[in-house]
Structure 1
Amino acid sequence: MTSAPPTETARNDDQAPPPEQPAGRRAAPSPVWPGLRALAGLLRPQRGRLLAGIALGLLGSLLGLAQPMAAKHVMDSVGQGQPAVGSVVLLSTLVLAGGLLAGLGHYVLDCSAESVVCTARRRLTHRLPRLRVPVIEHTEPGDLIARVTSDTALLRRTAPQAASAAVTGTLITVATVVMMGLLDAVLLCVTLTVVAFVGLVVILVTPHIGRATRHTQEAVGRMGAGLERTLGALRTVKAAGAEQRETAALHRAAEYARRAGVRAAAWEAVSTTLSAVVLQACFLAVLGVGGARVTSGSIGVSTLVAFLLYLFALAPRVGQLVEGVGQLQIGAAAAVRLREAEALEVEEAESTEPDRPEGDGDETAPAPEQAPGSHERHRHPAAVAFQQVHFTYRPGLPPVHRHVSFTVPAGGMTAIVGPSGAGKTTVFALIERFYEPDAGRVLLDGRDVRRWPLARLRAAIGYVEQDPTVLAGTLRDNLTLGAADATDEQIAQVLRLARLDTMTGRLPHGLDTQVGHRGSRLSGGERQRVAIARALLRRPRLLLLDEATSQLDAANEAALRETITDTARRTTVLVVAHRLSTVTTADRILVMEAGRVRARGTHAELMARDSLYAELASTQLIAFR
């Protein structure tokens, strides 16, 4: 009977739009520099630690750079028959200090990496619950989860160490080349020719690594989305005997991720292999040319040995530089995906509508001390009004509301009835500001809901969805979800009102019993009663009930109907109903059809003058759920 927004779990509004392709699936690979800028933005808060880690690593590398010269001095001393104890002590000190400084630098970089990842995760987890409802409905949750987990983990493994490798590798490579030039300019020219070739390899290959890595992470996101889809509807999958079909889909996603990962690994292997081959060729060329120069007497054996030691030190540095650049590309790809998630539109914390001039119809807006969410909210029932509201879920689709206008006075119960697709549930979505109307206004106590801060607006409203949501955790956690300061006495009272006190007494740990994933350990009726109790515990000024008793047996439905009727004496109750017993007890009834309010009145009045309502009533309103 209800009209629902376009979601996977509630899609019974005839005009609900189909889901769009998730943003993570249609994103094109980003250019190199935007990705590096995004990565730099993530690393910037930790620049102090990063610089300290890089400096320690660089100092350790510089001490390592001095070791070949110290070794040359040892050889020269031994060759000349002079004591070499001091040179040996110096060489040993350089080796030990260099290793300690390099290890300390690595530790500092790892600490900064953990801080970068923690900050990125905190920023994402702060934004994701605040995403606008339309954004959530058009984005795969599994892909968002992958960005918080997989992409941030990738960032942790690559970014700080890669930045250090790129900086340290560059500086040490330059310093090593200078030292080699001081030893022999001819051998240096041979070395530089090879190093230039390695640089060309880096320039050509690293963009491919970045793109391949981005494809890999997007594939992982797709696999996470598929797994979330299957596990989120596991009972339905099992009942339909569709395990094999869903498994095949997950396997296809895993295979796609494997192929994308293999492509990324292939480009990394190309980069590493070419670098290794070129450096081996460099060693052979230096050995050949150097041997000839030793034979000709141009240089001594100790000079050739020192030069080869520098070459041996240069090889891993060049490899480190190549790997660092490649890892930066991987980190940049992860940073771009994190930046995309952070760019998703979130709800505004404050009012988004500019103040209107006096006389715009808001004269009855409550004073700040009576605003929604204040400590007085449970004492003043709220009034609701729709003024020429026009709404469409997405451009190009038929409107769900066509200039809807009605008024719900403060207090009492108002029922909304009508066939499927009439726009009933959308009324609740607009009151809660899950969506914004395309035209017209939704008023709470005479003030446009867009002028209320969201937190204060929603604190005044209790909302029970048609498909009630129960979160993993304890029963107490679910009941106090929107009322963390509720006392045990208040909880016990709403348990009695929702007819949950008997069930709670049977639970092994009472209110501290785990309810399972999405309340899987509770029956449908129990989940519905938990949702009602949760809404009542907030003591709302406006209670929205979307077929809130549809899954209850006759006895519990009758008892809760009495509770709702009693609640309507202290607050405003707006209910989407399909049972005639609920509708007939309402103070007023709105009949909706095709996005319009076609009639309003009491049960007796509508039976006498509205044919659609009479037809709905004659079938107990059940056929039009």
Structure 2
Amino acid sequence: MKMARRFLIMAKKHWGELALAIFGLLGATLMNLVTPEIVRRVTAYLSLPDTPQMRVILTYAAILAASYLLRAVFRFISMYVSHVAAWSFVGELTLRIYDKLQQLSLRYYQDKQTGQLMSRMINDSRQLEVLIAHALPDLISNLLVIFGVAVMIFLIDPLLALLTLIPVPFVLFSSVIFSKKVAPLFRINQEVLGDLNGAVQDNLSGMKEIQAFGKEENELHKMRRACRHYSYVNIHANFANAIFHPTVEFITSMGTVIVVAVGGWLAMQGRMSTADIIGFFMYLSLFYQPLAALARLVEDVQTAFAGGRRVFEVLDADIEIQDEPGAAPLGRVSGALEFRHVKFSYLPEEPVLEDVSFSVKAGEMIAIVGPTGVGKSTVVALTERFYDPQEGQILMDGRDIKNASVASVRGNISMVLQDIFLFNGTIAENIAYGVENASMDDIVRAAQAAFADEFIRQMPEGYETVVGERGVRLSGGQKQRISIARAILRDTPILILDEATSAVDTETEAQIQQAIDALAGTRTVIVIAHRLSTVMKADKILVLENGRIVEQGSHRELAAQNGLYAKLCRVQWGQSTGTPV
């Protein structure tokens, strides 16, 4: 019930709609009680010794027809309004989950599959519609029916009414047992569905690799196992339902048996009229129907709660990177950057950076090089404040970025990564992604500066060409140049290039290098590269090894030291001695 209460609090703005839906339920319940009473009264009237009058019969028929019409109106109000409230809430909840996902740091995503998170945001939140629009209204409706019918049958015959209540404790007991047994099963269902979504998303994203390596049969076999497991857990959960539903129906049927036996005996003793017996039977069908429906309600509630738990796991996740109390915006910085004794690790037992210190003046170009896995990209991630260091400080224009608003820190930085992400929109939309209300002239100038204008104009729709999901219609070099154009258009004081030329050919690399050289001096540029030809013109080169800066200086200075940088140059250019200068 704590979870239901929490969801109801979250849906507070829809309480008015829910109240109207409950009003509809109350009206429909009252109208349901009219039919048995009318039939009872008509039966009693026809049993009188006097000749029945058609006018009386027609009056009862008119009342019955009016009750059916009103019941339809009340049911429409209840069903429509409850669905309006439910789907509005689901849409708001989905947006709330998405907003929370945007606030979580990259550390949260390290062990999460995209498909899993999509399942929580879409599938699990959708289960709340069942809770709000179906389970809770049905529960309220059924309780009202049970209460109303109980009042009517006690008015007809208290003794027989008490006897009809005998099955109720058994139904409630079996429902509690069923709920405890089935809740873990539905939770497993949602988890397995999330796993299946994750597997499908991975395979669709990696379809090129699957086909290139001829692994279609292998992946089909894995997907077949996943689908069978998903089918199995659903069948296992519904096996419990298959036992519970007939059990409840059998128990409630015993109430009818009691009425037939005891009611018949009372009628033979002259203590009940035929009209009362008929009315009692009709009320009884209304009384036991909600009890029998309890099985379905328990199933719906458990399914919704299973999804709700997974939703709250996201909503309750700690936001690691957020504004500190009193954090102020940085404003536009000059581009000066400093690391002071920074220490960082993704896992406690695996340090990535150890006592890293360096400074960059505004407008300088620095390069960070070193073997794979020494923490080069981690420096970038810390600068963007995707993570916070465990020790030390990172300063922009002399201000600790941890004491500045996250948005203002990131608003001063543009990034060009090795793995470029382009949205499924036009080239112009992707270039202008980081700038509000960019003009077409601005977009074209940025593309020209990135040496992208020529190939863009050669495309069928030019700047209005749709690039496809993740830019699938473009080559690696084209995506890189569009990414550089995006960074140029944003015009931030700090530009980070993380392996921006690692996956392109020599000609494209030369064009990208021209674009980078043109930016030198206009903003602070941080270059991370394995191709050392792209860092030779840097004002300062930092050499990382085992998470520490072991060398720093210009290309010429480091080449003369004959240390790690010189070794990397010799390995890359195939020289036994010396390095290009």
Say whether the fold is shared (TM-score over 0.5): yes
Is 1:156 the equivalent of 2:129?
yes
The corresponding residue for 2:418 is 466
Q: Deviations over 1:163-184 (max 9, x none)?
A: 1111221122022112111111
User: Distance in 2 between the 1:240 and 1:518 partners?
Assistant: 21
8 A Cα contact 2:79 2:133, kept in partner: no
SS in 1 for 2:136: helix
Stretches of structure 2 that go unaligned for 5 or more consecutive residues are 576-581
User: Distance in 2 between the 1:67 and 1:525 partners?
Assistant: 76
1:419 to 350, 371, 393: 371
Q: Deviations over 1:536-555 (max 9, x none)?
A: 11111011111212233323
The corresponding residue for 1:308 is 281
Q: Which amino acid aligns with 1:308?
A: F
Q: Deviations over 1:560-597 (max 9, x none)?
A: 22221221121011101223322221112111111111
1:73 to 41, 52, 55: 41
The corresponding residue for 2:77 is 104
8 A Cα contact 2:451 2:515, kept in partner: no
The corresponding residue for 2:447 is 495
Is 1:401 the equivalent of 2:401?
no
Q: Which amino acid aligns with 2:377?
A: T
The corresponding residue for 1:605 is 557
Deviates more, 1:263-272 or 1:143-152: 263-272
8 A Cα contact 1:578 1:621, kept in partner: no
2:313 to 337, 340, 343: 340
Q: Which amino acid aligns with 1:601?
A: G
8 A Cα contact 1:74 1:88, kept in partner: no
Give the alignment of 1:187-336 within 5 angstroms.
187-336=160-309
User: Distance in 1 between the 2:574 and 2:358 partners?
Assistant: 24
1:569 to 518, 521, 526: 521
User: Quick one: percent identity of the two aligned structures?
Assistant: 31
Is 1:529 the equivalent of 2:502?
no
SS in 2 for 1:392: strand
The corresponding residue for 2:29 is 61
Is 1:383 the equivalent of 2:333?
no
User: Distance in 2 between the 1:621 and 1:283 partners?
Assistant: 92
User: Distance in 2 between the 1:108 and 1:154 partners?
Assistant: 18
User: Distance in 1 between the 2:192 and 2:505 partners?
Assistant: 46
Higher relative contact order (CA 8 A, sep 6+): 1
The corresponding residue for 2:14 is 46
User: Distance in 2 between the 1:485 and 1:620 partners?
Assistant: 44
8 A Cα contact 1:606 1:613, kept in partner: yes
2:433 to 481, 484, 488: 481
Q: CA deviation at 1:436?
A: 1.0
User: Distance in 1 between the 2:177 and 2:11 partners?
Assistant: 26
Q: Which amino acid aligns with 2:47?
A: G
Provide the aligned C-alpha RMSD in A. Answer: 2.1
SS in 1 for 2:425: coil
Q: CA deviation at 1:419?
A: 1.3
2:92 to 116, 119, 127: 119
Give the alignment of 1:142-153 within 5 angstroms.
142-153=115-126
Q: CA deviation at 1:200?
A: 1.6
User: Distance in 2 between the 1:61 and 1:621 partners?
Assistant: 85
SS in 2 for 1:619: helix
Q: CA deviation at 1:332?
A: 1.9
Q: CA deviation at 1:402?
A: 0.8
**Which contiguous aligned blocks of 4+ residues in structure 1 show a shift greater than 6 angstroms?**
none
Q: CA deviation at 1:440?
A: 0.7
The corresponding residue for 1:9 is none
1:540 to 471, 479, 492: 492
Using the size of structure 1 for normalisation, the TM-score is 0.87
Q: Deviations over 1:477-527 (max 9, x none)?
A: 221121132221111112112221121112222222221121111111111
Is 1:446 the equivalent of 2:398?
yes
Stretches of structure 1 that go unaligned for 5 or more consecutive residues are 1-32, 356-366
2:156 to 153, 178, 183: 183
The corresponding residue for 2:578 is none
Is 1:133 the equivalent of 2:106?
yes
Q: CA deviation at 1:43?
A: 4.0
Q: Deviations over 1:333-362 (max 9, x none)?
A: 22211111111233655246x78xxxxxxx
User: Distance in 1 between the 2:242 and 2:352 partners?
Assistant: 55
8 A Cα contact 1:544 1:574, kept in partner: yes
For the structure 1 residues 62 and 325, does the alpha-carbon distance in structure 2 shift closer, same or farther, using more than 3 Å as the test? farther
Deviates more, 1:315-324 or 1:294-303: 315-324
For the structure 1 residues 116 and 301, does the alpha-carbon distance in structure 2 shift closer, same or farther, using more than 3 Å as the test? same
Give the alignment of 1:7-26 within 5 angstroms.
none
8 A Cα contact 1:39 1:331, kept in partner: no
User: Distance in 1 between the 2:529 and 2:65 partners?
Assistant: 85
2:4 to 28, 36, 41: 36
8 A Cα contact 1:61 1:102, kept in partner: no
Q: CA deviation at 1:393?
A: 0.8
Q: CA deviation at 1:327?
A: 2.0
Using the size of structure 2 for normalisation, the TM-score is 0.93
Q: CA deviation at 1:388?
A: 0.6
Q: CA deviation at 1:264?
A: 2.5
